[in-house]
Amino acid sequence: MATKTQDPVIGDGSLHVGDRVVYPNQGICRITGVEIKQIAGQNWEVVTLSREEDGATVMVPKAKVMGIGLRKVADVAAIDRVFDELATPNTDPQLDWKVRHRENADRMTGGGLFGTVEVLKGLHALSRLRPLPPKERELYDNARHLLVGEIAAAMNIPLHVAEDNLDYALWPPEGMTRKGKALPPATLGPPSPARAAGIDDDLGFEDEEVGGAAEATPAAPAAAEDSEDADEEEEKPAPAPAVKKAAPEKEQPKPAHRPQAGSAKKAKPSHAPARKAAPAKHAAKKPAAKHPARKAAPAKRPAAKAKGKAKGKR
Amino acid sequence: MIRIVTLSEFPPDVVDFVSRRLHAAYGMGSELEGEGEIPSSAMDDEQSAYDAVKALEEMDDDVALYADDKILYLTTEPLTAPEGPMGRGPVDGYAQYGAGKAIATAHGLADKGVPLEVGLAKRAAHYVGHLWDLHHCYDPRCAMHPGWSPGFAAYPEVALCLFCREKSERKIKLGST
């Protein structure tokens, strides 16, 4: 089915078998060869890549190699410019979510190094103003993942060191400098809406053994994230989304939790309908199973009453 | 299972606290595996701190690991890491991303005004998170927030934000066991 070709020319000729390349949105890959694959009765010349992160094989039609944005891993000079860019504070994030989404999607699809940097930097600046909505949080994490991988590959340093350095630029610690210029130390971001609402952050470990409290605590910041997803440009008040998020968690059939004052308060509204629903189900099920004959009677009575009432009114 | 190996002396209640917090954060078993020593060859050139990367690579232990087990080494010694593009910054631990070993130090916690057990547990949760491929998080309350930022002392509770928690759960579920 597949045959390997000799001395292949890949893309514009700058790529060779064995090169480390960056596949847009996938990360660092190594070109393992060029093969001719028979797919649907046609012969396709495909470039095979192996993703370094997990060894997954990626096959790209040879004619599309340059079109999809496959490129070599950046050199050290480019990484240096990346850090210059990261160390420059971004105080003006794009607030229009439509424009931001379109721009970020284009940058990530393009697969350029500086496009990824701009995505990360823009979302980072936005996160200093308010929590990111879930999709952008995911994008932020992807951009960070790709950038950390490329920095590590380019500089030949461990991933951990690469990420720490990236954040020395984004969240400069005290005394951090870049090319002799002191960077302003990171400040604490604004409290999330959940915190302003007075929700207790304690993990409530006593309950964690049963499996409950830890879920309640982190849900609070995330609830705020969800709320922002619904309407990106409108800042919503904290309590409403927090309650909204708590509801599905409380419905989980896990016993014995909720000791915390904050979370208990939060839980009240969500519990109320659940409790009401439970007896209603019982009432409906019991007669049906044990006394099927009685089931008809109550059904008739209300009907009769309703008739009577209706007559009376007339 | 997260296996904790102490490389310095810690009060038993501190290790117990760390272990319980790790269990709470990741929903995995966590236990004290034993004691060890940082290899002296991991001392950096200035003889002032241990190179965390070398320390993990050269650590000689006989901890039996199963498929998804993670080892967390705890120490009180100062750590350092190889110089990167931004130069040297504060280092309070090191983790092999997506692999099995991490180290966290209690060094410098007193300066931050955080109780030993709380600060160590937060750092431990942070580096174990890296073992599950978690990246740094912008939420100052999340354990994956960088340890040098003001959020570390401002929100000492050991908890992951929802995004990091869900991501870690996905990774744990995909584990080979």
What CATH number has the domain bearing residue A27? 2.40.10.170
On chain A, the residues whose CB falls within 8 A of the CB of B157 are 201-203, 217
Q: What is the identity of the amino acid at A43?
A: N
Asked if residue A282 is part of any domain, the answer here is: no
Asked if residue A228 is part of any domain, the answer here is: yes
- Same domain? For A64 and A89 the reply is no
- Same domain? For A178 and A205 the reply is no
Per domain, the residue ranges of chain B are 2-173
* Residue (of A5, A74, A194) closest to B85 by Cα position: A74
- Same domain? For A156 and A208 the reply is no
Task: Judge contact between A83 and A165, C-beta under 8 A.
Answer: yes
On chain A, the residues whose CB falls within 8 A of the CB of B141 are 192, 195, 201, 221
A80-124 tens-digit pLDDT:
999 999 999 887 888 889 999 999 999 999 889 999 999 999 999
Interchain pair B135, A144: CB under 8 A: yes
- Same domain? For A150 and A203 the reply is no
What is the number of domains present in chain A? 3
Selected residue with higher pLDDT from A273 and B109: B109
pLDDT above 60: residue A259: no
DSSP label of A230: H
pLDDT above 70: residue A48: yes
Asked if residue A22 is part of any domain, the answer here is: yes
One DSSP character per residue, B68-131 reads T-EEEEEE-S-EE---BTTB----SEEE-TTSSEEEEE-TTHHHHT--HHHHHHHHHHHHHHHH
Asked if residue A306 is part of any domain, the answer here is: no
User: What's the whole-number average pLDDT of chain A?
Assistant: 71
- Vertex A195: Cα angle to A191 and A198 (nearest 5): 140
- Same domain? For A166 and A92 the reply is yes
pLDDT value of residue A309: 42
Q: Which of residues 4-43 of A touch B (CB under 8 A)?
A: none
Selected residue with higher pLDDT from A302 and A56: A56
φ/ψ region of A251 (left if φ > 0, alpha if ψ in -120 to 50, else beta) reads alpha
Given 3-state DSSP classes, what are the helix, strand and coil percentages for chain A, each rounded to the nearest 5?
55, 15, 35
Interchain pair A214, B24: CB under 8 A: yes
Residue A191 CB: number of other CB atoms within 10 A? Answer: 15
- Same domain? For A89 and A61 the reply is no
ipTM summary value: 0.94
pLDDT value of residue B112: 86
Candidates A128, A137, A139, A160: best to mutate against B (most CBs of B within 10 A) is: A160
Average pLDDT for residues A111-139, to the nearest whole number?
93
Task: Judge contact between A119 and A25, C-beta under 8 A.
Answer: no
| Residue in B closest to A171 by C-alpha | B149
Asked if residue A10 is part of any domain, the answer here is: yes
pLDDT above 50: residue A247: no
- Same domain? For A167 and A204 the reply is no
* A79: Cβ contacts below 8 Å, ≥ 6 apart: A150, A151, A154, A155, B85
pLDDT above 70: residue A208: no
Parent domain of A43:
3-72
For B2-173, CATH number? 3.40.390.10
Task: Judge contact between A143 and A124, C-beta under 8 A.
Answer: no
pLDDT value of residue B50: 94
pLDDT value of residue A187: 82
B36-88 tens-digit pLDDT:
999 999 998 888 899 999 999 988 877 777 778 899 999 999 999 999 999 98
Kindly state the percentage of chain A with pLDDT values over 90: 39
- Same domain? For A134 and A218 the reply is no
| Residue in B closest to A79 by C-alpha | B85
Task: Judge contact between B144 and B129, C-beta under 8 A.
Answer: yes
Task: Judge contact between B166 and B133, C-beta under 8 A.
Answer: no
pLDDT value of residue A192: 52
Average pLDDT for residues A141-158, to the nearest whole number?
95
Phi, psi of A233 (to 5 degrees): -90, -10
Average pLDDT for residues A150-157, to the nearest whole number?
95
Q: What does pLDDT average to in each consecutive run of 10 residues of chain B (177 residues)?
A: 94 95 93 90 87 90 78 95 91 92 93 91 96 94 93 90 94 79
- Same domain? For A98 and A131 the reply is yes
- Vertex A73: Cα angle to A22 and A14 (nearest 5): 90
Last residue of a domain, one of A158, A182, A206: A182
Strand partners, A15: A10
pLDDT value of residue A6: 56
A160-198 tens-digit pLDDT:
999 999 999 999 998 898 888 888 888 887 555 454 433
pLDDT value of residue B174: 83
Residue B129 CB: number of other CB atoms within 10 A? Answer: 26
Task: Judge contact between A94 and A122, C-beta under 8 A.
Answer: yes
CATH number at residue A168: 1.20.58.1290
Phi, psi of A159 (to 5 degrees): -55, -40
Q: Which residue numbers of B have CB closer than 8 Å to A's CBs?
A: 20-21, 23-25, 27, 53, 81-82, 84-87, 89-91, 94-98, 130, 135-136, 138-142, 146, 148-151, 154-155, 157-163, 165, 167
* B161: Cβ contacts below 8 Å, ≥ 6 apart: A218, A221, A222, B137, B139, B141, B142, B144
Q: Identify the band that residue A292 occupies on the pLDDT scale cut at 50, 70 and 90.
A: very low
Residue A264 CB: number of other CB atoms within 10 A? Answer: 14
pLDDT value of residue A304: 39
The least confident of A6-20, A163-177, A238-252 is A238-252
Candidates B17, B163, B171: best to mutate against A (most CBs of A within 10 A) is: B163
